[in-house]
C-alpha cells in the first residue's frame, strides 16, 4: 500500500470487539521507522450483556406461605452497549416451578407467584433450578440459580367454633365423654395436645376427654347447670381454639331422711275422723326435680287404714278407733319417697288413751320425752311394782314385831352366832355388859337370863 491506505481485509459481521489498535511502520528499503499506533473503533458493533451476580454459592431459601409476590432474587447484568434494550426471561426445572415463581422481564426480579401460596406439604419436589437469560436483541447471556422451599410450622385449627358435651353431676374424675373435636393441621406429622380454660373441668391432653376436676353438686345454688369453656389445641408451638358448651345433668344423689329415729303420738279412742295426732318430717337435700317428697303409712299389721298422712307430714285419724283399748300401743311404719324413688322409713307408735286431754305434739321435730317411749313406761312400771312389794313386806314385818326396834333385834338374832368359852376375855367382857343391862331391866328378864346354861353367844360383826 504505497499510498498508506488502511483497508478492511475481512467481513466485520463476525467481529465481536468494538475496536483494534493498529501499529504502523514506514520502511524505505533501508530504514524502518515506527511504529505509530492507529486505533480503529467500530461504533455500531454490538456487545453481549453480562450477568454479574450469578451463579451463586448456595441455594436461595423461600419459606412456604410466603406472601404473594414476595421478592426472591434480583438478576443484575451489564452491557457495553449503553443504549441497548434488554429482556430477561426465566425457565424452570422442573417446569412446575413456573406456577410458584414469576420473572419480571424488564427489571429481572424473580418473585413468588402473585396468585397462589406455596404449600410445602403438597409439593412433589422442594428445589427448583431457574435458568436466567438476558437478551439485548442481538446477543444474550445465561446463568442459573437454585431455589429451595422451606417447610414452616403452621397452626392447628378446629373445624368448628362450637362443640357440645354433657354429663351427670358427681365427684371429681367423672367423665363427660369426648366431644367430636375435628383438628386441621397442614403439617401432617404434627402431634397435638389439648387444654381447657375452666376450673370445673380437666381435659385428657391426648384424647380430648372431658373430666370433672372437682366434685360438682347441682344441689348447691352456686353451681350452674351449663358451663362454657375454651378448649385449646397445640402442636407444641402454635395453637388453635374453640368453645365447648357443657351441660351438667341433675341426678337423684340424695335419699330423703326423717329428722327423728321414731315418733310417738297419743290419741283418744273416741277421736273423730280428721283429728290430727301430730306431724312427721323428712328432708331431701336434692334441689330441683328430685327434691319433692311424699309420705305414706304402712298399717298392714293393723288390718285396716286407721290413720292417714298428708303431703306436709301431718298424721290424722282416718276411721273410728273404738275397737282399740285404752293403753294399747299401735305400731306402724311411715315411709318418705322422693321423685327419684329413693326412700326412708321410720317407726311410729300410737298410744290409745281414754280421754283427749293429752296435748297433740307440735309438728316441729323435737326429742322424744321420757314417758312418750313405751319402753320407758314398761320398765318404770315394773320397777314401781318391785318397790311397792318391798314396801308391803316391810310394813308386814313392822306389824308383826310391834316396832322398828323389835324388828332390828329380830334381825340381829337371825345372824349366825359363835359360842365363846367362859374363861376367855371376850366372855368376861360380854358378861359384864349383860350384867349392867340386867340391872336396868325388870326382874323377870333378870331371872330368866340367869336360868340359861352357863354359855353365851357373842354376835360377831
Q: Please, are residues 101 and 110 in contact by the beta-carbon 8 Å criterion?
A: yes
- Per-residue CA distances from 315 to 32, 297, 312, 346, 352 (Å): 157, 9, 9, 13, 15
CATH, range 157-249: 2.60.40.60
Question: In which residue are the cell numbers 334441689 written?
Answer: 287
DSSP strand pairing (282-283 vs 314-317): unpaired
C-alpha cell of residue 306: 286407721
Q: Specify the pLDDT at position 461.
A: 38
Q: Please, are residues 206 and 172 in contact by the beta-carbon 8 Å criterion?
A: no
d(CA 9, CA 1): 13
Q: Specify the pLDDT at position 362.
A: 46
Q: Specify the pLDDT at position 419.
A: 53
Q: Specify the pLDDT at position 364.
A: 46
Query: What residues does 248 pair with on adjacent strands?
Result: 167
Q: Where are the domains of the chain?
A: 1-45, 50-150, 157-249, 257-372, 415-459
Query: What residues does 82 pair with on adjacent strands?
Result: none
Q: Specify the pLDDT at position 384.
A: 81
pLDDT by residue for the chain (461 residues), tens only, comes to 567 788 888 877 667 677 788 898 888 888 889 899 998 877 667 788 999 999 999 999 999 999 999 999 999 999 988 888 999 999 999 999 999 999 999 999 999 999 999 999 999 999 999 999 999 998 899 999 999 999 999 999 999 999 999 999 999 999 999 999 999 999 888 899 999 999 999 999 999 999 999 999 988 888 999 999 999 999 999 999 999 999 999 998 899 999 999 999 999 999 999 999 999 999 998 887 888 999 999 999 999 999 999 999 999 999 999 999 999 999 999 999 998 899 999 999 999 998 655 445 544 455 556 665 666 766 777 788 888 888 888 787 777 766 666 666 766 665 555 555 555 555 566 556 555 555 455 455 444 444 444 444 434 43
Sign of CA dihedral 220, 225, 226, 230: positive
Q: Please, are residues 315 and 381 in contact by the beta-carbon 8 Å criterion?
A: no
Q: Specify the pLDDT at position 425.
A: 58
d(CA 186, CA 194): 18
Same CATH topology for 157-249 and 257-372? yes
Q: Specify the pLDDT at position 138.
A: 86
Q: In the β-sheet with 140-150, what is the strand arrangement from edge to edge? A: 60-63, 140-150, 127-135, 87-93
Give pTM, 2 decimals. Answer: 0.56
Fold of the 50-150 domain: Immunoglobulin-like (2.60.40)
Quote the longest CA-to-CA distance of the chain: 219
In terms of C-beta density within 10 A (0-12 exposed, 13-18 middle, 19 or more buried), how is residue 364 classed? exposed
Q: How far is CA 42 from the centre of its chain?
A: 92
* Omega of the bond leading into 55 within 30 degrees of 0 (cis): yes
d(CA 242, CA 192): 14
d(CA 423, CA 299): 83
- Per-residue CA distances from 429 to 423, 432, 452, 458 (Å): 11, 5, 18, 10
Class of domain 257-372: mainly beta
C-alpha cell of residue 333: 311404719
Amino acid at each position: 500500500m504505497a499510498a498508506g491506505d488502511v483497508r478492511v481485509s475481512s467481513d466485520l459481521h463476525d467481529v465481536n470487539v468494538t475496536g483494534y489498535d493498529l501499529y504502523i511502520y514506514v520502511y524505505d528499503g533501508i530504514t524502518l521507522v515506527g511504529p505509530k499506533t492507529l486505533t480503529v473503533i467500530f461504533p455500531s458493533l454490538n456487545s453481549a450483556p453480562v450477568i454479574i451476580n450469578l451463579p451463586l454459592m448456595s441455594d436461595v431459601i423461600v419459606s412456604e406461605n410466603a406472601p404473594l409476590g414476595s421478592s426472591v432474587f434480583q438478576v443484575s447484568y451489564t452491557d457495553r452497549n449503553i443504549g441497548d434494550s434488554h429482556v430477561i426471561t426465566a425457565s424452570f426445572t422442573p417446569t412446575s416451578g413456573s406456577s410458584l415463581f414469576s420473572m419480571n422481564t424488564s427489571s429481572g426480579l424473580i418473585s413468588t407467584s402473585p396468585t397462589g401460596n406455596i404449600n410445602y406439604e403438597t409439593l412433589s419436589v422442594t428445589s427448583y433450578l431457574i435458568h436466567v437469560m438476558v437478551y439485548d436483541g442481538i446477543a444474550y447471556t445465561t446463568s442459573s440459580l437454585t431455589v429451595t422451599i422451606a417447610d414452616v410450622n403452621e397452626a392447628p385449627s378446629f373445624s368448628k367454633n362450637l362443640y357440645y358435651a354433657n354429663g351427670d353431676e358427681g365427684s371429681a374424675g367423672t367423665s363427660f365423654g369426648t366431644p367430636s373435636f375435628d383438628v386441621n393441621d397442614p403439617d401432617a406429622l404434627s402431634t397435638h395436645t389439648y387444654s381447657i380454660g375452666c376450673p370445673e373441668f380437666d381435659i385428657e391432653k391426648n384424647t380430648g376427654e372431658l373430666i370433672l376436676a372437682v366434685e360438682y353438686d347441682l344441689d348447691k345454688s352456686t353451681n350452674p347447670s351449663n358451663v362454657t369453656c375454651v378448649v385449646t389445641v397445640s402442636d407444641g408451638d402454635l395453637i388453635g381454639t374453640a368453645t365447648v358448651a357443657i351441660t351438667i345433668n341433675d341426678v337423684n344423689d340424695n335419699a330423703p331422711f326423717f329428722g327423728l329415729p321414731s315418733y310417738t303420738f297419743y290419741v283418744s279412742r273416741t277421736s273423730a275422723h280428721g283429728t290430727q295426732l301430730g306431724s312427721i318430717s323428712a328432708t331431701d337435700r336434692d334441689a330441683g326435680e328430685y327434691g319433692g317428697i311424699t309420705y305414706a303409712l304402712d298399717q298392714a299389721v293393723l288390718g285396716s287404714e286407721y290413720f292417714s298422712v298428708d303431703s306436709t307430714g301431718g298424721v290424722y285419724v282416718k276411721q273410728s278407733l273404738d275397737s282399740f283399748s285404752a293403753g294399747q300401743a299401735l305400731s306402724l311404719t311411715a315411709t318418705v319417697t322422693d321423685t327419684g324413688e329413693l326412700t326412708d322409713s321410720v317407726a311410729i307408735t300410737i298410744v290409745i288413751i281414754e280421754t283427749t286431754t293429752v296435748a297433740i305434739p307440735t309438728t316441729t321435730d323435737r326429742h322424744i320425752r321420757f314417758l312418750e317411749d313405751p319402753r320407758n313406761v314398761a320398765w318404770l312400771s315394773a320397777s314401781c311394782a318391785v318397790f311397792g312389794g318391798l314396801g308391803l313386806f316391810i310394813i308386814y314385818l313392822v306389824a308383826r314385831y310391834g316396832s322398828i326396834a323389835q324388828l332390828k333385834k329380830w334381825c340381829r338374832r337371825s345372824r349366825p352366832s359363835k359360842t365363846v368359852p367362859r374363861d376367855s376375855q371376850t366372855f368376861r367382857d360380854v358378861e359384864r355388859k349383860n350384867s349392867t343391862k340386867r340391872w336396868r331391866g325388870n326382874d323377870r328378864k333378870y331371872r330368866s337370863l340367869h336360868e340359861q346354861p352357863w354359855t353365851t353367844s357373842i354376835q360377831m360383826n
